[in-house]
Chain A
Amino acid sequence: MTITCLAALGLSALLTAQAAPAASARGAGQRKARNGEVSRVAFEQLSKAADRARDENDNEDAIRLYRRALSLRPAWQEGLWYLGILEYEKERFLDARDVLRRFVTYDPSAGPGWAVLGMSEFKTREYSRAFDHLRRAMALGLGGRKEMAQSVFYFVAALLTRFEQYDESMNMLLAMVKSGQKTDLLVEPLGLAALRMPLLPAETPPDRHEMIRMAGQGALAVEAGRQGEAERLFSGIVAAYPNEPGGHFLYGVFLLDLRPADGIREIKRELEISPFHVAARLRLVEEYLKEERFDEGLMLAEEAVKLEPKDGPAHMMLGEVLIAKGDLAGGIRELETSEKQAPQTVRTRWDLLRAYTTTGRKDDAQREKGEIERLNAPTGEQEP
């Protein structure tokens, strides 16, 4: 993205006053003082020249001058910031990254600094770091920079899919749709998340490009309440790609709300293609709970836990089935396991609150209530 506009917005809010010259008590001799004065004058000349070159869009010259000024005053935050974004705009992402790492050392609360750093790291394919730093930018806020916020959200959502956090990615992408963002760019990431393919849009296999687009467009249609269009797209996927993993699950989940029996049939078909699909099992368990088919639900929930013993949602669903079958102690045990593995999941805490209340464990119930309130409190994280 272009961030000249960001720079033009002014950094007064972002940057505090220029860093004071590094304090140094040593060597207070006259010669040193004279050298210091020469250096100060040189820095001021260079920094002004750099700013002027940037204002005149002579960016290569500006980069050179910022670098020289920073060699005299390495902690000059404004210089680090402008140098970082100029390098980013020149698509020299390694250089941008290194400069911005220094910048955030001096100003760790600068959301935009973390944002451009994270985007640089995305470009250099340091995805884990990029993810951490972009999330940090979201938490700190971007000072109303809408274009930057959209980019940050896009990158984070794409990375969530690559890190196999598909539901979180979908939620984020749909929140972006709701906020009024143009959907063209979101179709592919939505499709990848919906089909549970841990790839970035740039990594999409050409022979499944159409399938991924159809899945993304279908997700957008569902979000807009255009059920007919969504069904046409999802049924089109399973017709065109009948043996490809992901399609039947997506269609099945969609159908569960419309025609549950058809939805169950599609998800079962997915399990024939993808026999180790944990999410498909859990979605079926949820439906069976609704239909009070507890034995079928229990079997699938136990399989899910066996396949992924460290999966919080699998333990949560097993806990819910056990409680539904009247095994309160077993259910609580599974829910507590789930809570340990995924402490941020509010649904598990509601389940536990109810179970503790039923069994008269008032203190435990109270603790869960407090946790639910805490988790539901606004985070202050930037909106898309």
Chain B
Amino acid sequence: MNVLELRDVVKRFGPLTAVNGVSLSVQKGSIISLLGPSGCGKTTLLRIIAGFEHPDEGLVFLGSKNVNGKRPYERNVGLLFQDYALFPHMTVGKNVAYGLHQRGFREPQVKKRTDEMLDLVGMREFANRRPQTLSGGQRQRVALGRALASNPELILLDEPLSALDAKLRLELRTELKRILVTAGSTAVIVTHDQEEAMTFGERVIVMEKGQIRQEGSPTQIYDDPKTRFVAEFIGRSNWFCGTLGQKIGEFREFLCSQMKTTLIREPDQVNHKMYDVCIRPERILTRGSKSKDLNDGDEPLNTINGTIKDVIYLGSDFELIIALDGAAEMTAIEKNRRQSIPNRGEAVTIAFRPSDMIVIGRD
């Protein structure tokens, strides 16, 4: 059952088109991430779903009802604001109870439900405190509890972790997901942080310039991006540009001026003039000559010789910048397992699998 459906939604602000024909649907019980850089229209989309903006074109359905033109309080959509928006003149308990009162719940039920919510988010002992006395993480939990209290069909989270410092972010990431899953909520999370998107979302929708560029599971988005934008927005990449050569078995030759000819997966379309090929840094193995480690399948490995240009120690990772014979530079990342890392200036051979290479045709 679709909890939310958008059909060709368009929203303009003067000469600027913030949302340019977006269609999507969200099933009951699923958690979706809406991911994109600032200005891509994701926040506008959120506000349209919540009812604070109205689309210029297109339709918004909540459940099976068309809600175009309905005010926010006429929809049953919960909202977690970026700055939490807790009412400063009410206690935590009253904040959580507010929506229940507004939607017509009576007293004994209100108390029961409020307590349930506070337990769910772990803030029961703070019920009589004011929001100003709470920390950022605590405030966020109260805000979530408040939004979930009246059991909305859909809950929208606007950049839920952006206001927190790195450590808190990690803690709360799992906590928030637990709460959402326990409550069985259908949720849409808007964020510009790919880690956040991948953590929360069973499905990730990537947006750019008011349009959806790709939708899929985190794995699909990461390993199989359909456009250069999506590939670059998520994770790190090494890019090469070239043309296709002959077909060799199930693979294809990739001819590039910046490195020797390599083998790539057969792309979906072979009629593009040029191709952008991307290799994620963590899929590159760097060893003196131990190329055997990578070969756990029947795939032939691509191997290229090069020299270490720089080694950057990042604590949990090593970042290796390698100058390939043939002019190009590549960045590889290895986990720090106290292995011996080649030094600057040393000659190395790098290896990577054809199936790890992301191929995107250029128009």
Mutual binders A and B? no
Write the residues of chain A forming the contact surface with B, with a CB cutoff of 8 angstroms. Answer: none
